[in-house]
Structure 1
Amino acid sequence: MNSEEANQILVNQLKLLLNDTSQNKGLLYYYLGSVSNDNSVAKDYLKKSIKADNKIADNKIQLANILRREKDFVNARENLNLVLNRENDNAGALRSLAIIEMLEGNNKQGVNLAQKAYISNPNEDYVLETLIIALTANGQSDEAEKYKKEYISNGQEFDEDMRNFLDGKITIDDYYLG
């Protein structure tokens, strides 16, 4: 079975669970949005997730990430602020907001938010990478170098896009929107 077939089986099972009243529909819609390869479908599921269970933070963060990739920074920021109004130290929301700030040319604010995300949870997905990118974009290469060493010492390797950004071959827009 290939990954597309496995994904379709997962989607079908999640959809079946939507009929079970004992299940958290907000969580099921979140999972459906998370596994969708179509941004439009993912957005619809994530919006349903938010409507069904407004207490889930990650549904708003994932929706904001899609909106950011679509360059809808206003609505992306709105979703992230909903999370941060409840959890001002949510590393995922801080990280995503840092990216928006950098895409809008506010590199210093991007660094501040990326640092807050790192302090809150350095192990959250992509937080360390975002901090390295923010520091690099803000011209703080010596500080970025410290975090690059930490990243590598964690047994991780930069992917091709990250290497291209760090080498100046692509822009921050290329990296996050391209």
Structure 2
Amino acid sequence: MATKNQKVEVNKDPAKQTVEPGAMVQKKPSDSWEPFASLREEMDRLFDEFSPAFWRMPLARQAFGPIREARGHVQVSPAVDFVEREDAFEMQAELPGLTAEDVEVKLSDGKVTIRGQKSASRDERNNEYHLSERSYGAFMRSFGLPKGIDEDKVEARFANGVLTVRLPKSQDAMRHEKRVSIKTS
């Protein structure tokens, strides 16, 4: 230990630095083993792989596709946006590779349901495929109808692989809407 007015040599080369036995050494956080932190990082990584977008990719294979295909079942699920406008709700579903004739829209029991089927259109006689990621099969998605929909005026359009279903609000529902002002303190 140095005393007052005593010169102490400081070694700035990390390779030559030593620690006296019994000295307290503070570990960097990266030096310590933190089982819960590493578990959390691994869980975050796994959930990132299975994000909501993963489950809704338009007509894409799922991670468990080979298992389902072995049973003769391929699950496809179109990505859907559901938006509220001033006078209507609007639902848009991405359905690439389909036509209006391949899709059906129904209203029943307070739900709007879209269903359809994408058929395979490939020649597998020569089996020269090195990779096949496109999915084929039936799909169905149902959504609860918002209150105040005028079911007699619901319309559906199909263009450029996108199905748009317009769900107009009833006049009564639009009359009951009221904007509430927000006051500051």
Normalised TM-score (structure 2): 0.25
Structure number with the higher strand fraction is 2
Structure number with the higher helix fraction is 1
Larger radius of gyration: 2
State the structure with bigger RCO (CA 8 A, min sep 6), 1 or 2: 2
